[in-house]
């Protein structure tokens, strides 16, 4: 089955630093990837839709300059949390849809960010 | 904003029993998908049912869809302790730009 790899799986950083999370589709091409964040015991909140070769589409209330998304190739999207603060601590999950499919999403294992 | 709402929020059953979870949504769909999430992990796709289908099976999973009521149900038969997880429905909305949003899920606990 299709595999999405997310890295790092966990990261601890100091307040004010930037953190980059990578999302790779390992055995398929994905024109579209999605980034979610999840607080403990809560639902996944869609942050943005990442489109290969174009600007990401952000959901309402998500700061574009805070959460930089780059989708440089059909297999890689990155999320950079800039100038991270403790309130950015969360579980970030990416997902991808295969280029030929319009159905299921394949999810990465998530990245737990803790900002001190 | 979330498009699917799961019910109940939590469900605790004994191993071997069946577990039923429900999902309601608000607008027309292309399909509806069910996902599972183990604690601290990513989501795993379970099953997709298209808008013109009424029932679908996959192993111990049975999904129904009633587009007139805008609702779906997920039945897990002969549950196992390993089925303990959160379950989410995700309606793929018509004109929704192929993005999926999730509700708060049903937290299923299967006890030995």
Q: What CA–CA distance (Å, rounded) separates B14 from B18? A: 9
pLDDT of residue A58: 95
By C-alpha distance, the chain A residue nearest B38 is A109
Whether B43 and A32 lie within 8 Å, measured CB to CB: no
Is residue B5 a contact partner of residue B70, using CB atoms and an 8 Å limit? no
pLDDT at A60 over 80: yes
Chain A residues inside the 8 Å CB shell of B44: 107
By C-alpha distance, the chain B residue nearest A104 is B45
Is residue B97 a contact partner of residue B76, using CB atoms and an 8 Å limit? no
Q: Burial, B54: exposed, middle or buried (Cβ in 10 Å; 0-12, 13-18, 19+)?
A: exposed
For chain A, percent of residues with pLDDT exceeding 70: 96
**Which of the four pLDDT bands, split at 50, 70 and 90, describes residue A98?**
confident
- Work out how many CB contacts closer than 8 A connect A with B: 59
Is residue A88 a contact partner of residue A12, using CB atoms and an 8 Å limit? no
Given A97, A105, A109, which is nearest B41 (Cβ)?
A109
Given B41, B43, B98, which is nearest A32 (Cβ)?
B98
Distance, CA of B16 to chain centre? 19
Whether B42 and A49 lie within 8 Å, measured CB to CB: no
Q: What CA–CA distance (Å, rounded) separates A76 from A69? A: 11
Min distance A42 CA to chain B CA atoms (Å) = 6
Q: What CA–CA distance (Å, rounded) separates B40 from A80? A: 21
For chain B, percent of residues with pLDDT exceeding 90: 80
Where does chain A show beta strands of DSSP type E? 4-7, 10-13, 19-25, 32-38, 44-51, 57-58, 67-73, 76-81, 90-97, 106-107, 111-115
Contacts of B83 (CB under 8 A, 6+ apart): B19, B76, B108, B110
- At B25, list the tokens: 């949504």
pLDDT digits (tens, 9 = 90+) for B48-60: 999 999 999 999 9
Min distance A74 CA to chain B CA atoms (Å) = 17
Min distance A75 CA to chain B CA atoms (Å) = 18
**Which of the four pLDDT bands, split at 50, 70 and 90, describes residue A105?**
confident
Assess A91–B contact: CB distance below 8 Å, yes or no: yes
pLDDT of residue B96: 72
Do you know the residue count of chain B?
A: 112
Q: Burial, B42: exposed, middle or buried (Cβ in 10 Å; 0-12, 13-18, 19+)?
A: buried
Min distance B86 CA to chain A CA atoms (Å) = 9
How many Å from the N-terminal Cα to the C-terminal Cα in chain A?
Answer: 37
Q: What CA–CA distance (Å, rounded) separates B77 from B70? A: 23
Whether A43 and B105 lie within 8 Å, measured CB to CB: yes
């Amino acid at each position: 089955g299709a595999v999405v790899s997310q890295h790092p799986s966990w990261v601890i950083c100091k307040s004010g630093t930037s953190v980059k999370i990578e999302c790779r589709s390992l055995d398929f091409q994905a024109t579209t990837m999605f980034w979610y964040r999840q607080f403990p015991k809560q639902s996944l909140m869609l942050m943005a839709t990442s489109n290969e070769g174009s600007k990401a589409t952000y959901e309402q209330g998500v700061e574009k300059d805070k959460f930089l998304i780059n989708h440089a190739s059909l297999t890689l999207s990155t999320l950079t949390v800039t100038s991270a603060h403790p309130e950015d601590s969360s579980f970030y999950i990416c997902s991808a849809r295969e280029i030929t499919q319009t159905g299921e999403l394949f999810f990465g294992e998530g990245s737990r960010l803790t900002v001190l | 904003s979330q498009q699917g709402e799961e019910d109940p929020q939590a469900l605790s059953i004994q191993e071997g029993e069946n577990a039923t979870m429900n999902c309601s949504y608000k607008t027309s769909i292309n399909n509806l998908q069910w996902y599972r999430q183990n604690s601290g992990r990513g989501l795993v796709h379970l099953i997709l049912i298209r808008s013109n289908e009424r029932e679908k099976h996959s192993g111990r999973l049975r999904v129904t869809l009633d587009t007139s009521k805008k609702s779906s149900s997920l039945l897990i038969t002969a549950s196992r302790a390993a089925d303990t997880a959160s379950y989410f429905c995700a309606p793929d909305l018509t004109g929704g730009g192929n993005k999926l949003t999730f509700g708060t899920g049903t937290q299923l606990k299967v006890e030995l």
